[in-house]
Amino acid sequence: MLGLQVLNRKRLVDTNLIARFRSLPVANVSDVMARMTAGGSRLRPMHDGSLLIGPAITVKTRPGDNLFVHKALDMVQPGDVVVVDAGGDLTNSIIGEMMLAYAATKKLGGIVINGAVRDVGSIRRGSFPVFAAGVTHRGPYKDGPGEINVPIAIDGMVVEPGDLMLGDDDGLLCVPIASAAAIYEKAAAKHAAEEAQIVAIAEGRYDRAWVDLALQRIGCPLES
């Protein structure tokens, strides 16, 4: 029934591949995904900055209601990331300290709330990864409707159950299962190139000729 369904995941990203992504900044992964995908600038880390990573279990709920989030927490496997589309509404919080204490016992890879959280002081002092759009002291309702393990979208970023979720200080990203392996290879190469570039900068070997070439390409005159 549309608006009231609890489904099981049919697939999820490989655990070995997840481990390999741990060494990559989200920005490098985003670069090789054509910089076209993001969870929106409002979704920020509320915790101490520890890496959020793991396969998604998705929740779609009406704004301000967390009944189906509670159900999802009873369904998760260690390492999962619960991704909640609560419409981006900040009127009522979706989770707080009590739910996160329970989530931590599940050994999750993190929680994403396209909505608000509360007890943010406790979240900020902890290392459990929590991304959210905002903060409010007003608590949630528990009436539904909602859906679990259905495709959701956050600011144009489509998340399907089992996709790889990545989050660091720069923001949140979803890597689709079908292209995750290819994206990793490209992102790893990008990261290695940037590491080499940093070394070149430190050693005074950084070639800046590309700047003038780019200006010439767009027709900008340069005084000699």
Q: Is 11 marked as a binding-site residue?
A: no
CB 88 within 8 A of CB 153: no
Q: Is 99 marked as a binding-site residue?
A: yes
Strand blocks (E) in 30-186? 44-45, 52-61, 81-85, 93-95, 110-117, 130-135, 146-148, 152-154, 157-159, 164-168, 171-175
Based on the number of CB atoms within 10 Å of its own CB, is 133 exposed (0-12), middle (13-18) or buried (19 or more)?
buried
Q: Is 96 marked as a binding-site residue?
A: yes
CA distance 125 to 182: 36
Q: Is 143 marked as a binding-site residue?
A: no
CB 125 within 8 A of CB 97: no
Q: Is 125 marked as a binding-site residue?
A: no
CB 85 within 8 A of CB 150: no
Q: Is 42 marked as a binding-site residue?
A: no
For Cα atoms 185, 190, 193, give the angle at the middle one, nearest 5 degrees: 125
Known binding positions: 96-99, 118-119
Known binding positions for substrate: 96-99, 118
Known binding positions for Mg(2+): 119
